[in-house]
Amino acid sequence: MYLKSKLSWNVVIPAERLDAGGLMLQKAIITRLMADFAAKKASKDLGYFLALSTVGSIGEGKVRKQSGDVIFLVDFSCITFKALPGEILEGVVHKLLKQGVFLRCGPVQTIFLAHQKMDDYQYMPGENPYFMNAKSSKIDKGVVVRFLVIGSKFIEVEKDFQLIGSLEGDYLGPVA
């Protein structure tokens, strides 16, 4: 699900980047905010940080006594993406194992669809293995699959989510 979020972050501007002109200071603050935003990647509560949409207000700077750097409180809006249990998404198969398949969906790189959650699909071994059901519907590498999110886990160290999916439900499976 895409969310529009309003956040307030502290932005630190090194002393050497400060000058008397206010326009250059605003540019330095916004550039630093964008760099911090890109480095953050994701959070457990909001999901993946995709784009800054608007910068609201920039607070007055407070000087750090030891370094001379200045901290500004910046209010801004951004777009985030978080997959929630019960949501239906589409992902592309990038890895296929006997136990199931791994999908990618937008910023989420690790979605596991277990063989047990793939209704009547059977594993077909061979040089290029795939899953197939009685209706000749085929799940192979590169195939787009519509799936139901049944669980998610945030990995704090990697700032990344892992999802578990299912094909148990109506209109789920390979997209033609």
Tokens of 110: 């690790």
| pLDDT(22) > 70 | no
Using the predicted structure, report yes or no on whether residue 2 has a pLDDT greater than 90: yes
Per-domain residue ranges for the chain?
2-81, 88-174
In sequence order, which residues have a C-beta less than 8 Å from that of residue 92 and are 6 or more positions away?
103, 104, 105, 142, 143, 144, 145
- What pLDDT, on the 0 to 100 scale, is given for residue 16? 75
Q: Nearest-CA neighbor of 144 among 80, 88, 94, 83?
A: 94
pTM of the predicted protein model: 0.86
Task: Please state the CATH superfamily assignment of the domain spanning residues 2-81 in this structure.
Answer: RNA polymerase Rpb7-like, N-terminal domain (3.30.1490.120)
Question: What is residue 21's predicted lDDT score, i.e. its pLDDT?
Answer: 60
- Report whether 138 contacts 174 (CB < 8 A): yes
Fold of 88-174: OB fold (Dihydrolipoamide Acetyltransferase, E2P) (2.40.50)
Whether the predicted pLDDT of 66 surpasses 90: no
**Cα–Cα distance measured from residue 32 to residue 40, given in angstroms and rounded to the nearest whole number:** 12
Give the model confidence (pLDDT) of 23-65 as tens digits.
688 888 999 999 999 999 999 999 999 999 999 999 998 999 8
